[in-house]
Amino acid sequence: MKFLIANWKMAPETPKQAISLAKATSTIARTSKKHVQMIVCASYVHLSTLRNTTKTLALGAQDVASTTTIASTGKVSAPMLKGLGVTYCIVGHSETRANGDTNEVVKEKINRLLESKLTPILCVGEKERDEHGWYLSTIKDQIESAFFGIAKPSLKRFVIAYEPVWAIGAQATREATPTECQEMILFIRKIIADLYDEKVAKTIPVLYGGSVGEENARAFVTDGDASGLLVGRVSLDPKRFAKIAQRIVQQ
């Protein structure tokens, strides 16, 4: 079973558009459900609208509050998400890290999600690559900090997404290659094996995200060894998103 996660980011603009996109995505999920676990991570404002329109989809949020204090104007807590039928939540996305989320804040968010029995989708990724391989220490720090103090049983509910920042979004400098993806996924599994053991390292899903489209999707899961894909912009286009699902199923 592969994961296919749609990160709708700050779109669509209206509830009507969100429902229509969810219905189209739900149809895609139905046709690929034997092989693909599809998760839609929508803006907070759409979550309650989507709750009843997405039976074949799992519902995810894009962020969560790091604290439990009620004096957190504008924030949304893990129990609030749980109450809306949300089961997954992205944490540590490069766009929220760019807005100030440190590894420590990401760690607190993970704690809040686990306390509410929600599944964190932990995004990790380096801003740029250098020829000496220093970027590997960025990934190591992100993972070690996120997993600090987490007991093995909690890892049954955990997804990691490797998203090199330089390959994400309209500002991407280039696409990652399946080989770069495979090497990093191996590296991430090695860090997990050192923290826990080989079994945990093998079973935890490690996805790839960053400018995934119908042309490169298959290579990331076959040659790149990704347990699935996290898709941003293309997840807003049901025809293209359907092709990505088909490409995963084809393997």
Active-site positions read 93, 163
Comparison of 36 and 231: residue with beta carbon closer to ligand PEP? 231
Comparison of 5 and 47: residue with beta carbon closer to ligand PEP? 5
Among 75, 169, 175, 195, binds ligand PEP (CB under 6 A): 169
As measured in angstroms, the least distance from the Cβ of 212 to ligand PEP is 5
As measured in angstroms, the least distance from the Cβ of 217 to ligand PEP is 11
223 in Cβ contact with 245 (< 8 Å)? no
Residues 182-211 within binding reach of ligand PEP (CB under 6 A): 209-211
- The answer to whether residue 122 forms part of the interface with ligand PEP (CB under 6 A) is no
Helix axes 238-250, 15-32, angle to 10 degrees: 20
By beta-carbon distance, which residue lies closest to ligand PEP?
232
CA 19 from centre of chain:
21
Nearest Cα to 48, choosing from 90, 17, 19, 6? 19
Q: List Cβ neighbours of 149 (8 Å cut-off, separation of 6 or more).
A: none
Among 4, 6, 7, 124, binds ligand PEP (CB under 6 A): 7
Secondary structure (DSSP) of 45-102: HHHHHHTTT-TTSEEEES---S---S--TT---HHHHHHTT--EEEES-HHHHHTT--
Among 76, 230, 244, 248, binds ligand PEP (CB under 6 A): 230
Neighbours of 83 (CB within 10 A): 13
CA 98 from centre of chain:
16
Q: What is the dihedral of CA 30, 31, 32, 34, to 10 degrees?
A: 80
Question: What mask of x and - would describe binding to ligand PEP in positions 126 to 165, judged by CB under 6 A?
Answer: -------------------------------------x--
As measured in angstroms, the least distance from the Cβ of 169 to ligand PEP is 5
Among 140, 233, 240, 243, binds ligand PEP (CB under 6 A): 233
Q: In this chain, which stretch among 76-84, 131-139, 176-184, 229-237 interacts with ligand PEP, using CB under 6 A?
A: 229-237
As measured in angstroms, the least distance from the Cβ of 159 to ligand PEP is 13
- The answer to whether residue 168 forms part of the interface with ligand PEP (CB under 6 A) is yes
CA distance linking residue 62 with residue 152, whole number of Å: 24
SS3 205: coil
Question: What is the contact surface with ligand PEP in residues (CB under 6 A)?
Answer: 7, 163, 168-169, 209-212, 230-233
